[in-house]
């Protein structure tokens, strides 16, 4: 046994399998640390988004024309901003937006109608969700809007695009059906300027609960991202600990084997020779 110590009981760490294990350990540690920071950044993004939603929903409503204009791209800082719009509905150009879900997950349509503002200009109003007809290509049953001048309150939203929403914009659609809520597309259909973005109606509430108003975005849930970040960092800390535990266990087994061989008078096993790295 003394000879085994003299030769270096940890020489097995230079064998091929232990060198591969050491290399794997060196790769896993920074990878897991990076994954932890990735989850941390997702957590921070979610917290910041919740703060923005909460602030904009609680803010005093302002006229929509003060925040947007034709061709304007809604900045993230104005997402979900409480706004008002006063004018008359353009019922002839009301359309429905396909493949939208209700609060219980049912598939149907969102109802989109232009509102000609009292001071000039047009803004799109998302009235909410209605169920689809039996024939998906048929125009659904949509309750009529009030006649005359109305004041709508709602949340300001950015125009939808395929890139931001993941929804493919189909061209071969039935009359008065669209895939995306996009002011530029509707401006082209209306042949007049339309304010950028649209208003997600929150009031007045429709009689009979149809269309179903869209729920406010969640501003309280932060998700599991912080827990995942801590988990990845614990894994990163555990990898070197596991390597040391395995190495010490291997060393103990080798020492015990050498002691048994010495006690029985058998020659001590030769320590494994490290194999030179090959190109």
Taking phi over 0 as left and psi of -120 to 50 as alpha, with beta for the rest, 70 belongs to beta
Quote the pLDDT of residue 83.
97
Q: Return the SS3 of 73.
A: coil
Q: How many structural domains is the chain composed of?
A: 2
Assess if residue 268 is contained within a domain.
Answer: yes
Assess if residue 85 is contained within a domain.
Answer: yes
Quote the pLDDT of residue 133.
85
**Could you list the pLDDT tens digit for every one of the 279 residues in the chain?**
445 444 567 888 889 999 999 999 999 999 999 999 999 999 999 999 899 999 999 999 999 999 999 999 999 999 999 999 999 999 999 999 999 999 999 999 999 999 999 989 999 999 999 999 888 889 999 999 999 999 999 999 999 999 989 999 988 899 999 999 999 999 999 999 999 999 999 999 988 889 999 999 988 888 899 999 999 999 999 999 999 999 999 988 888 888 888 887 655 555 555 555 554
Which structural domain, as residue segments, surrounds residue 33? 1-58+219-279
Assess if residue 214 is contained within a domain.
Answer: no
Assess if residue 70 is contained within a domain.
Answer: no
Q: Are strands 95-101 and 107-117 parallel, antiparallel or unpaired?
A: antiparallel
Assess if residue 197 is contained within a domain.
Answer: yes
Residues 30 and 90 in one domain: no
Contacts for 16 with CB less than 8 Å, ≥ 6 apart: 274, 275
Of 209, 228, 244, the residue at which a domain comes to its end is 209
Does this model's pTM top 0.85?
no
Burial-class residue 220 by CB neighbours within 10 Å (0-12, 13-18, 19+).
exposed
Q: What are phi and psi of 234, to 5 degrees?
A: -65, -40
Burial-class residue 267 by CB neighbours within 10 Å (0-12, 13-18, 19+).
exposed
């Amino acid at each position: 046994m003394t000879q085994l110590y003299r030769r270096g009981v940890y020489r097995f760490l230079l064998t091929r399998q232990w060198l591969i294990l050491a290399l794997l350990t060196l790769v896993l540690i920074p990878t897991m640390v990076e994954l932890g920071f990735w989850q941390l950044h997702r957590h921070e993004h979610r917290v910041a988004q919740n703060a923005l939603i909460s602030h904009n929903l609680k803010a005093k409503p302002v006229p929509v024309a003060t925040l947007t204009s034709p061709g304007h791209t809604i900045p993230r800082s104005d997402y979900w901003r409480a706004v008002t719009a006063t004018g008359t509905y353009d019922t002839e150009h009301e359309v429905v937006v396909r493949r939208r879900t209700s609060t219980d997950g049912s598939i149907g349509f969102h109802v989109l109608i232009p509102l000609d503002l009292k001071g000039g200009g047009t803004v799109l109003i998302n009235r909410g969700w209605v169920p689809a007809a039996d024939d998906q290509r048929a125009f659904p049953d949509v309750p009529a809007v009030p006649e005359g001048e109305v004041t709508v309150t709602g949340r300001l939203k950015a125009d939808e695009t395929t890139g931001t929403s993941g929804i493919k914009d189909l061209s071969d659609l039935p009359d008065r059906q669209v895939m995306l809520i996009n002011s530029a597309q509707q401006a082209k259909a209306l042949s007049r300027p339309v304010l950028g973005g649209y208003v997600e109606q929150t009031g007045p509430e429709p009689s009979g609960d149809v269309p179903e108003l869209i729920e406010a975005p969640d501003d309280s849930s932060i998700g599991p991202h912080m827990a995942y970040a801590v988990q990845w960092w614990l894994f990163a800390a555990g990898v070197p600990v596991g390597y040391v535990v395995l190495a010490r266990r291997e060393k103990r087994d080798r020492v015990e084997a050498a002691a048994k061989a010495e006690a029985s008078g058998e020659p001590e096993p030769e320590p494994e020779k490290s194999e030179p790295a090959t190109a």
